[in-house]
């Protein structure tokens, strides 16, 4: 029973680590898209003297800040998950020897 519980914990940790990696990639893609969106709308707004386009670009900059914070948090989560995974593997090796 104990071995099965340890196996489930390892499986759950591996799944969590993989999900965090996927979320990081998705958030990186979101950041790139928001930079393009903000630059494009602000640039087009300045050229066409459109307050609406500039406001849309400013809103994109605010969203970009939020996405940047989420990316930072997810990267810290990924680092913690890697460290937990390494500790788990090290403790198993230690218990086998």
Q: What residue segments make up the domains of the chain, in order of their start?
A: 2-96
> Would you state the pLDDT for residue 21?
92
Q: Which pairs from 33-37 meet CB under 8 Å and 24+ separation? A: 34/60, 34/63, 34/64, 34/67, 35/64
> Would you state the pLDDT for residue 41?
97
Task: Give the Cα-Cα-Cα angle 12, 18, 22 (nearest 5 degrees).
Answer: 140
Instruction: Please give the distance of CA 21 from its chain centroid, rounded to a whole number.
Output: 7
pLDDT, tens digit, for every residue of 37-92? 999 999 999 999 999 999 999 999 999 999 999 999 999 998 888 777 776 666 66
- Mean pLDDT, the chain, as a whole number? 86
Are 16 and 74 contacting, i.e. CB atoms less than 8 angstroms apart? no
C-alpha 19/C-alpha 68 separation (Å) is 18
pLDDT, tens digit, for every residue of 4-45? 666 677 788 888 889 999 999 999 999 999 999 999 999 999
């Amino acid at each position: 029973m104990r071995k099965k519980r340890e196996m489930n914990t390892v499986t759950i940790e591996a799944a969590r680590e993989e999900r965090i990696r996927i979320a990081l990639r998705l958030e990186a893609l979101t950041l790139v898209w928001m930079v393009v969106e903000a630059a494009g709308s602000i640039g087009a707004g300045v050229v066409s003297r459109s307050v609406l386009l500039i406001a849309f670009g400013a809103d994109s900059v605010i969203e970009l800040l939020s996405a940047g914070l989420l990316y930072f948090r997810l990267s810290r989560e990924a680092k913690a998950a890697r460290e937990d995974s390494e500790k788990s593997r090290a403790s198993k090796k230690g218990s086998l020897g």
